[in-house]
Amino acid sequence: MVTSFVLKVASRCNLNCSYCYMYNLGDKTYLKQPKFMSISTIHTFAEKLAHYSKENGLRSFQIVFHGGEPLLLPKEFYKESVRIFTETLSDAYFDFVIQTNGVGLDGDWYALFNELNIRVGISMDGPKEYHDRYRVFHNGKGSYDEVRHAIQIGLENGMHGVLSVANLNISPNVLYEEFKSLNVPSFNLLLPDGHFDKLPDDLIKDRVNTYDYTPYADWLIELFTIWKSDPDRPNMRFFKTLIQLIAGEDAGDQMVGLKKNGVAVVETNGNLEVADSIRACYEGITRNSINIHTHEISSILEDPLFDIYINSHQMVSEKCINCPIYEICGGGFLLNRYSNENGFDNPTIYCHDMIKLVTYIQNDLIDSLPDEVCKEMELNRVSYDEILEELENKGPVSIQKNIKDKLVAYSLT
């Protein structure tokens, strides 16, 4: 069930990050959106959420204030929004979160978010030299100094996590030291958005998913090693989730694991769409006619793209179903699987990287266990080479025709 709603409360941003899926990866949908979400849209959404809650017996929801840049709205908007949600669904539990670029985030904002129980997440791209290359204002000036200041104030005001996009141009050691110097107890990494026909800048098209080309795995393994050897390590969600999955725990998100994706985006005008980074596939892919002013929330369950997105770890290519690490990576993030030729019927652009990384962590965990435990649990080290070899042969499980048809329906050829 979808219980996490990302509200695009602002469709514009005060930054112009070079890799941003909202503005710079091919989709101009934002130009047709109102600049800000109105309180009337919040009201309608809360009423529809109350109905959805009753219909499905749900009492817990996550509301993420997102953009564009959500701090472009006035403080009053947040006071009013939280009041509307908590009064309209008075017996529900809400987890409110805001994701901001940190520009203008000062003590007054933190005080408000503390008062309203809104958790704060800040995006940052590592040391100044790199952050200022990508996360820039519209005049080209970097935003590092303002963001670092916001993080430092945040450390005294409850904020404890920073999100960053993995960047092969930054040495893992330099990135790690940057976050250590910020003193944040937690940071996390996302792999860059992109797909087979719009690769992240660092990837060489002809070499993607070839045997000896695993730049992200090599980078992440180096970072993992640094992190693991640090006795005062901060939390790193990306690695922690992989370790939990390898150990057999129930974990995961839209990138890894087998859980369903329980997230929907509410656009500034009230449209209900799948995660907005999917827009990077091609212009208008996430568009549909579902709007909270005219539809119930449960209408999303009839939308074919929502069907694939929610079930993206079950609807995977044949190669993925037969892959030994399928239960760990779950076929990866939907956007990263896309190609104009096959739609979503591919392993991701990070397939070989994930195999190498997961193999490394699995073997490290096995090596940490006593021999008798490995024997008792019948654990054996597995190599990257062995898995690739296994993938070269056709596996015993075939993809169901109806699932394949759904995945290739988004092909452009």
Partner 1 sequence: MKKKFKITSNLEQKEILKKSIQNSENQNVDLYKSIFGGLNSGIAPGNGGGGSIILPPGGSCDVVAISGASAAYDRVDQFLRA
- Residues 92-111 touching partner 1, rule: CB under 8 A, are 92-99, 110
Q: Does 298 bind partner 1 (CB under 8 A)?
A: no
- Three-state helix/strand/coil letters over 174-229: HHHHHHHHHCCCEEEEECCCCECCECCCCCCHHHCCCCCCCHHHHHHHHHHHHHHH
* Contact mark string toward partner 1, 166..195, x via CB under 8 A: -------------------xx-x-x-----
Toward partner 1, which CB reaches closer, 206 or 232? Answer: 232
* Strand-pair partners of 188: 163
- Three-state helix/strand/coil letters over 316-336: CCHHHHCCCCHHHHCCCCHHH
Radius of gyration of the chain, Cα coordinates, nearest whole angstrom = 22
- Residues 251-290 touching partner 1, rule: CB under 8 A, are 252-255, 257, 259-263, 265, 275-277
Query: What's the CA gap between 344 and 193, in Å, rounded?
Result: 15
Retrieve residue 92's tokens: 């529900």
- Residues 334-373 touching partner 1, rule: CB under 8 A, are 358, 362, 365-370, 373
Toward partner 1, which CB reaches closer, 233 or 295? Answer: 233
Toward partner 1, which CB reaches closer, 94 or 213? Answer: 94
- Residues 63-82 touching partner 1, rule: CB under 8 A, are 64, 66
* Contact mark string toward partner 1, 301..330, x via CB under 8 A: ---------x-----------x-xx-xx--
50, 153, 168, 382: which one binds partner 1 (CB under 8 A): 382
Question: In what helix (H) or strand (E) does residue 99 lie, and over which residues does it extend?
Answer: strand 93-100
Min dist. Cβ of residue 211 to partner 1 (A): 18
User: Is the preceding peptide bond at 57 cis, omega within 30 degrees of 0?
Assistant: no
Toward partner 1, which CB reaches closer, 203 or 325? Answer: 325
> How many residues belong to the site for partner 1 (CB under 8 A)?
100
- Residues 108-167 touching partner 1, rule: CB under 8 A, are 110, 113-121, 123, 154, 157-161, 163
Q: In what order do the strands lie in the sheet with 4-8?
A: 235-236, 186-190, 161-165, 118-123, 93-100, 60-66, 4-8, 263-266, 272-273
